[in-house]
Amino acid sequence: MSVRTVHMVASVLLGYPDERLHDGLGLLREEVDGLPAGAAREPLSAFLGHVAATPPAELAAHYVATFDLKRRCCPYLTYYAYGDTRKRGAALLRFKHALKAAGFEIADGELPDHLAVVCELSARGAVREARRLLLEHRAGVEVLHAALREERSPYADVVAAVLTTLPPAGAREQEAALRLAAEGPPAEAVGLEPYAVMEAGR
């Protein structure tokens, strides 16, 4: 249950910080305080402290500046492996199918590979499916975490908590993350049109 709790809290904290986040701070704090002492509870507690001490407008501005304006801090996991290439469309469909199989429908216009969405999938009970997606894109999560740390963003704590729910990265995963951080995602100026086309054809 602690994995699902970590992912539930992370799914809320990694979303846009609107009034629902601030209204739910008390409940989130209770959930985090109930976690076993260890690597996940401390960073989540630190971030909740940051939220409580930061004016909502400032928190929202930081979220936009970090996740919307810095490509290196992209919360969409397939971006790291496929960039804006045609292969990303097929990868996005894998995420959407996993969500649909678990009975999870995302909002219109929302991409299924957002880290918050994958964490919510786990929190709703599809832990195995969410874990598979996270492990398949482990390098991207590691690069996102490193980028947030370099930006000195408090959101690095939330991603760090998510990483504690995965097994330690092996040598191959570490090498993939380092390579991705150095080279960046592949580039191809086609946007996400293949995703839309494939969806329309289903």
The gap between the terminal CA atoms of the chain, to the nearest Å, is 36
What is the rounded average pLDDT of the residues 164-192?
A: 67
C-alpha 126/C-alpha 149 separation (Å) is 29
Q: What is the DSSP letter of 166?
A: S
Check whether 152 has a pLDDT greater than 60.
yes
With pLDDT > 70 as the criterion, what percentage of the chain qualifies?
84
pTM for this entry: 0.85
Q: What are phi and psi of 114, to 5 degrees?
A: -65, 135
Q: What is the DSSP letter of 71?
A: G
Identify the pLDDT of residue 105: 82
Which of these, 100, 18, 22, 23, lies nearest to 60 by C-alpha position? 18
pLDDT in tens, 28-81: 999 999 999 888 999 999 999 999 999 999 999 999 999 987 888 999 999 888
Structure token pair of residue 95: 């995420």
Question: Which residues are 76's β-sheet partners?
Answer: 114
**Residues 142/157, Cβ–Cβ less than 8 Å:** no
C-alpha 101/C-alpha 114 separation (Å) is 17
Q: Which residue has the tokens 């880290």?
A: 115
Identify the pLDDT of residue 1: 60
What's the mean pLDDT when you consider all of the chain?
A: 86
Confidence label for 174 from pLDDT (cuts 50, 70 and 90): low
